[in-house]
Structure 1
Amino acid sequence: MCIAAKMITVRFILLPPTILVFLAYLLFRSKNSTDEVEKFLQKQQSLMPTRYAYTDIIRITGNFRQKLGQGGFGSVFKGVLPGGILVAVKMLGNSSCNGDEFINEVATLGTIHHFNVVRLVGFCAEGSKRALIYEYMLNGSLDKYIFTNGNKSCSHIFTLEKLNEIALGIAHGIEYLHRGCDMQILHFDIKPNNILLDMNFNPKLSDFGLAKLYPRERSLVTISAARGTIGYMAPELVSRSFGAISHKSDVYSFGMLLMEMVGGRRNADPHIDRLSRVYYPSWIYDKLVEQQHYHSNENLDITEVEKKLSLVALWCIQINSSHRPDISRVIEMLESDLDSLRIPTSPFFASDSLADVAEIEIDCSYDSDLVSELE
Structure 2
Amino acid sequence: MFQSSTLQAAVESVKEEVIQWRRYLHENPELSFEEENTSQFVYDTLCSFGNLEVSRPTKYSVMARLIGPQPGKTLGIRADMDALPIQEENTFDFVSKAPGIMHACGHDGHTAMLLGTAKVLAGFKDQFKGEVRFFFQHAEEYFPGGAKEMVEAGVMKGVDFVIAAHLMSHVDFGKVGITYGPMMAAPDAFWITINGIGGHGGMPHQTTDSIAIGAQVVTNLQHIVSRNTDPLDNLVVSIGKFVGGEAANVIANSVEINGTVRSFDEKVRASVPVLMERIVKGITEAHGATYEFKYVNGYMPVINHDEVTRAIEDTVREVYGDDTVEIQRPSMGAEDFSAFQKEAPSAYFLIGARNEEKGIVYPHHHPRFTVDEDAFEYGVKIFANAVFKFLG
> Based on CA coordinates, which of the two structures has the bigger radius of gyration?
1
More helix by proportion, 1 or 2? 1
- Report the TM-score range of the alignment, normalised by the length of the smaller protein: under 0.3
More strand by proportion, 1 or 2? 2
Structure 2-normalised TM-score? 0.23
Report 1 or 2 for greater relative contact order, CA contacts < 8 Å, sequence distance ≥ 6: 2
